[in-house]
Structure 1
């Protein structure tokens, strides 16, 4: 009986999270980025505590939470990944851009989906603007390897390579000046 109640509550939360995510997608399409961010956060709040890979600190002592089915766990992770990826996309459109958050959300996606081109690109953009050009180059190179024709990836990769080249030239000049 308790398992059935839990399953129904779990199903309801997964559905509600999906509805918030879809509402966020609609807001994004309409370029209402702040509203989209709110919807994606609400979706993630619905999923909080359901993820079996995260310990639930408020779980009643000794209470056994039934395991998620494979389909439920897949739906949970897909919704989380989509929300984090979409949050990063939204944040790139909201001034001033919070590149630390873009980086954080992109890395959450990459932990689940290391080959996700959009997350690789967004992580690269975030690192570029945070002036960590080595990390930016790493992520943008991976994104370019997977999507070699993407003009945005190419543009940021070129900007990053220009910055790295400039930095290396300055370092070289500094070291030459030290030994003269």
Structure 2
């Protein structure tokens, strides 16, 4: 048996005492001695010794064999190569997990690109007035050009020669046509001075939209001219020069002299008031005497619907119903000469019936709701709104069988519609509550 010096014996005692280090007589093996003298791990054919670490105190074999248990404390001052390898392996695994998470996040982002608006859209929606107007004008369309002094439009000159006017950038597009002169428009807007983040004027803060008639210049000229270029539900930003706003002197102290402004405007709705005179004649003469032109009659009926929608937005439900009813009567008396006209008539009639049903539903007049929904279903038997609203009306009248029939039809058409699913749950709860009430009633009747 090779004798060990004191230092080698100390190293040997710090090694793990497993059976592989002892021979059959309980003596240290040659491999263990070589390992102790060289302070190198045993060559085990290339296998890494991940579990072998240095301990602060040697293991007492007698205590371990007596099953009394021992506390193993690692020597944190000096870890062997196996522990370092284990730590490195763990770090590599953590990096792999992090990379996998990064790839997953990237995949999710790629999948959602079609639903998340682009960065440009966000930059347009979040109006940053810390930028100079000159920096913003480059990406906007110069709609109206003026000399910057008297507000008179200049035609046929390049933008570089115009000192003022109106510049426009659409934030999101609207639908339909632009309002003609004489139309009554309802808008929301925020107005900013240059380099100011807080609006100096806002209909949102007042919680009341601005309503005016185009061409009458009851508002600032620049605001009137800007709204003429918009569609219903369009939202856009405009930079307007001072000659189309408050002029050279402004209105101190609130409005500085020669103040340009940025307006963020949303056109909520507009009504063609050029047809108001013809609408007023509906009270005095026969509808057929107003006009026989089909397109004009459609425009009149559409205007009546728009006026009803406007009253609905103001929560004037009774007035809205009157406009819808007048539109229905006018359309039903309109004669069609071809299939295309018949389709137009039915589409507008369907909208009027649905709008009337919605108003009656809010007023809890369920009989009238059912009547208008049935009229709508005759025009379109698979109309989801009509099926949904008539089901609510029947449920409110405790006619659960009819409500269930219409709701099932709606579910078969749109099985993943969240509103329909919620209504189905409400209907189930109402049926269950009715059964409980009947059980209580029968219990009281037979236990008197």
TM-score, with length taken from structure 1: 0.72
Question: In the TM superposition, what whole-angstrom CA distance separates every residue of 1:21-72 from its partner, at most 9, and x where no partner exists?
Answer: 1222232233332222121111112113336xxxxxxxxxxxxxxx521121
Distance (Å, rounded) in 2 between the aligned partners of 1:33 and 1:8: 31
Which structure ranks higher in relative contact order (CA pairs < 8 Å, sequence separation ≥ 6)?
Answer: 1
Distance (Å, rounded) in 2 between the aligned partners of 1:143 and 1:37: 26
1:20 and 2:287 matched: no
1:38 to 298, 302, 322: 322
Question: In the TM superposition, what whole-angstrom CA distance separates every residue of 1:114-153 from its partner, at most 9, and x where no partner exists?
Answer: 1111110001001001111011011122223333344432
What corresponds to 1:56 in structure 2?
Answer: none
What corresponds to 2:350 in structure 1?
Answer: 81
Superposed CA RMSD: 2.8
1:168 CA displacement: 5.7
1:143 and 2:427 matched: no
Is the alpha carbon distance of 1:122 and 1:9 closer, same or farther for their aligned partners in structure 2, counting shifts above 3 Å? Answer: same
What corresponds to 2:333 in structure 1?
Answer: 49
Which stretch shows the higher mean deviation, 84-93 or 140-149? Answer: 140-149
1:115 and 2:399 matched: no
Distance (Å, rounded) in 2 between the aligned partners of 1:166 and 1:25: 37
1:133 to 373, 394, 400: 400
CA contact (8 A) 1:137 1:161 kept: no
What corresponds to 1:29 in structure 2?
Answer: 313
Secondary structure in 2 matching 1:15: helix
CA contact (8 A) 1:134 1:164 kept: no
Distance (Å, rounded) in 1 between the aligned partners of 2:338 and 2:352: 21
2:359 to 90, 93, 102: 90
1:100 and 2:100 matched: no
Distance (Å, rounded) in 2 between the aligned partners of 1:158 and 1:99: 20
Distance (Å, rounded) in 2 between the aligned partners of 1:126 and 1:117: 14
Which stretch shows the higher mean deviation, 139-148 or 67-76? Answer: 139-148
1:169 CA displacement: 6.9
Specify the structure having the higher radius of gyration (Cα).
Answer: 2
1:111 CA displacement: 1.1
Secondary structure in 2 matching 1:131: coil
TM-score, with length taken from structure 2: 0.31
Query: Larger % of helix: which?
Result: 1
Secondary structure in 1 matching 2:415: coil
Aligned residues: 154
Which stretch shows the higher mean deviation, 130-139 or 14-23? Answer: 14-23
Secondary structure in 1 matching 2:398: coil
Secondary structure in 1 matching 2:362: coil
Distance (Å, rounded) in 2 between the aligned partners of 1:98 and 1:170: 25
Distance (Å, rounded) in 2 between the aligned partners of 1:32 and 1:150: 29
Question: In the TM superposition, what whole-angstrom CA distance separates every residue of 1:84-127 from its partner, at most 9, and x where no partner exists?
Answer: 00101111222xx1100101111111111111111100010010
CA contact (8 A) 1:14 1:46 kept: no
